[in-house]
Amino acid sequence: MGISELRQAGPSGDATGFDAGAVEADLLRRGTLNIRDALLARQVRRHCDADVGRILLAEGLVTRSDLLDSHARRFRSRRVEAEEIAALAPIEVEAAPHILLRYAFFPVTDRDGKPAIVSGDPEALSFVRAHLPARFRTARILMAPREVVQAHVARHYDARLIEAAQARVPVIESCRTWAQGYARRLALVLSALVTLAAVTLAFPRATLAVLAGWAAFTLIVSALFKLAAFTARLTEGPVPPALPEPLDKAPLPKVSVLVPLFRETEIAHALVARLTQLTYPKCLLDVVLVLEEEDAMTQSTLAQIDLPSWIRVVVVPDGHPRTKPRAMNYALDFCDGDIIGIFDAEDAPEPDQITRIARRFQQAPPEVACLQGILDYYNPRQNWLARCFTIEYATWFRTILPGMARLGFAIPLGGTTLYFRRDALEALGGWDAHNVTEDADLGFRLARHGFRTEMVATVTEEEANCHPWAWIKQRSRWLKGYMTTYLVHMRRPRLLYRQLGAWKFWGFQAHFVTALSQVMLAPFLWSFWLVFFGLPHPLDPVLPRTVLAAFGALFLSIEALNLTIYLASVTGSKHRHLMAWVPTMHFYWPLGAIAAYKAVYELVLKPFFWDKTAHGLSLGVAPPPVAKTASDQRAQFP
């Protein structure tokens, strides 16, 4: 709730006995603030973990300049701008750069030769002084905008911050060492291919039988896994979104949301418009638009937009690999929230989503370190591919993932509409900058270290990839990341087993091995259609026709199971129009096989290459609708 809502609620109370703080008193005395707004700001503060100055700034009742001047008078000091900070000699201290960034302070030698602290967050000074030598306890405070202080810290410690961004995760849990093993990796893969080709030439039917048998085995395991998740989700019944707690409960926390952008000029304005629909108190909201240094076009586009005080830009210095997780690792230290969220450039979250997330974190036990929302698409009617993609997402996020979570399996995360407890995220080292599915990887790293992920009934709509080649590029990146994640976590299987426990370990195997095997060996399964049409099958000389018919019946039965799960997942009012398209899903998955072979090629030759998803493909069809509230758009099954 903000001041505008409180104004609508009526009188804010009597100003008699109002004990104004130093900043409020200064602003009132100078006529910058009126008593009624000061009272309303105090009322908001009772429900929000934010200082009054931040509330007044977020509500547009004072300017940043007014607030900085007031703080400078409070400390009997002065404001400094970027040029003056650069001219002051820095003082090296033991405090790590990420501490300096998060709390926006920088120790310098002032013009008179005395130590001083340049601060962009005066409310954090007591914490800041605890990280500085004793001589800074009475040091002069120089006020500067938070973004200016952070930019100066980033420039001063650029090498260390760039290195940390690409190597925050412990090496045993990262794939970054693959950069040194290119020749060995290529030699191993070529040897394996040559061996496979030789064996196939020597024993063609036996090789085909083995591959078809493995494809059938993983198909059975996959079907049982899906059936278990489907049954668990079905027996759970509808999950109504948890309503936010009353405002007289614990104050709401600060939430930072990272929005990585790269060449997103087409949708930058739409993104900002959607973010302004969020109803979370703006004094607690810290939206960080994360841009790459070499992406001058997006920087220029955002520079032309009058961003509110709670949205800011962080530019990531160029480096390798140029990936989304590396950019988020770098930007994480700039955030000031206790909860870290992730949005994609094309996302349209429900307006009350962050409030629900914050309240759930307050209710959940500490081991719940991550909350995953439901992803959906706002352009499902654009074409056949968009419809099938929407059916797939409805099945995954509304049926399979909730079922997996209920069964107690570790779940791979979805890349967006993710929220983390900051301390847990930092304890794990953030994201693996070299893994192109950093979300799936992080989901299992959380589980390995004793944390849990919960699914939350809140929806974010995004754009379905509706062009075949764009879809294949995106899916190949996901599959390459799945392969990478599996290989990294299986470096030490015994350690993984001890950390996950038997149930989650075998769930991990079932999920990754079957997912990858099915897309790679799909043509072997499709060959059983020959049996149904009475045509010769390559395995006829090896297996009796009755056995081949049994394999074909199995394949057909599991296809029927998949269609049933798809149908159940789209029977809700929002997706009911997709039911007629469910039978066409059989023609959707061959694209996945093409993407899988592309993924294998890149895994060997370009393991860190980020094949960026194209956004804005639906803008010419129809403007995305404003996200509805959760009461209108239930995140439920079916």
pLDDT (tens digit per residue) in 506-519: 999 999 999 999 99
pLDDT band at 618 (very low <50, low <70, confident <90, very high): low
Q: What percent of the chain has pLDDT over 70?
A: 91
Beta strands 418-421 and 339-342: pairing type?
A: antiparallel
Residue 524 CB-density burial (10 A; 0-12 exposed, 13-18 middle, 19+ buried)? buried
CB-based contact 613:323 (threshold 8 Å): no
- Report pLDDT digits (tens) over 415-455: 899 999 999 999 999 999 999 999 999 999 999 999 999 99
The more confidently predicted of residues 463 and 335 is: 335
Beta strands 255-261 and 339-342: pairing type?
A: parallel
Say what the pLDDT of residue 634 is.
Answer: 36
**75-156 to CATH, choices 3.30.930.10, 3.20.20.140, 3.40.50.11540, 3.30.300.160:** 3.30.300.160
Beta strands 255-261 and 115-119: pairing type?
A: unpaired
pLDDT band at 129 (very low <50, low <70, confident <90, very high): confident
Token output for 214 = 């493995």
- Report pLDDT digits (tens) over 356-381: 999 999 999 999 999 999 999 999 99
Taking the model in full, what pTM does it have? 0.89
- Report pLDDT digits (tens) over 235-257: 875 544 544 555 457 889 999 99
Calculate mean pLDDT across residues 153-178: 93
Residue 94 CB-density burial (10 A; 0-12 exposed, 13-18 middle, 19+ buried)? exposed
Q: Return the closest-CA partner of residue 286 out of 371, 356, 354.
A: 354
Q: How many other C-beta atoms can be found within 10 angstroms of the C-beta atom of residue 540?
A: 13
Token output for 216 = 């059938």
Calculate mean pLDDT across residues 620-625: 48
Residue with tokens 């061996």: 195
- Signed CA dihedral, 61, 64, 69, 72: sign only: positive
- Report pLDDT digits (tens) over 535-592: 888 888 888 888 888 888 888 899 999 999 999 999 988 999 999 999 999 899 999 9
Rounded CA separation 205/222 (Å): 25
**DSSP helix/strand/coil, 456:** strand
Calculate mean pLDDT across residues 468-474: 92
Residue 301 Cα distances to 148, 267, 287, 314, 493, angstroms = 20, 10, 17, 14, 48
pLDDT band at 28 (very low <50, low <70, confident <90, very high): confident
Confidence check: pLDDT of 611 > 70: yes
3-state helix, strand, coil split of the chain in percent (to 5) is: 55, 10, 35
- Report pLDDT digits (tens) over 486-532: 999 999 999 999 999 999 999 999 999 999 999 999 888 888 888 88
Rounded CA separation 272/345 (Å): 9
Domains in the chain: boundaries = 3-72, 75-156
Mean pLDDT estimate for the chain: 87
State how far Cα 620 lies from the chain centre: 27
Say what the pLDDT of residue 620 is.
Answer: 53
Say what the pLDDT of residue 629 is.
Answer: 44
Residue with tokens 């629909």: 277
pLDDT band at 623 (very low <50, low <70, confident <90, very high): very low
Rounded CA separation 390/392 (Å): 5
Say what the pLDDT of residue 534 is.
Answer: 82
CB-based contact 345:261 (threshold 8 Å): yes
Confidence check: pLDDT of 11 > 80: no
pLDDT band at 636 (very low <50, low <70, confident <90, very high): very low
Q: What backbone torsions phi and psi does residue 347 show, to the nearest 5 degrees?
A: -70, 145
Q: Return the closest-CA partner of residue 430 out of 505, 338, 340.
A: 340
Confidence check: pLDDT of 111 > 60: yes
Residue 99 CB-density burial (10 A; 0-12 exposed, 13-18 middle, 19+ buried)? middle
Lowest mean pLDDT among 302-316, 559-573, 612-626: 612-626
Say what the pLDDT of residue 47 is.
Answer: 82
Q: Return the closest-CA partner of residue 126 out of 214, 51, 176, 66.
A: 51
The more confidently predicted of residues 237 and 163 is: 163
Those residues whose C-beta lies under 8 Å from the C-beta of residue 196, and which sit 6 or more positions away, are 207
The more confidently predicted of residues 624 and 340 is: 340
Peptide bond into 638 cis (omega under 30): yes
**DSSP helix/strand/coil, 365:** coil
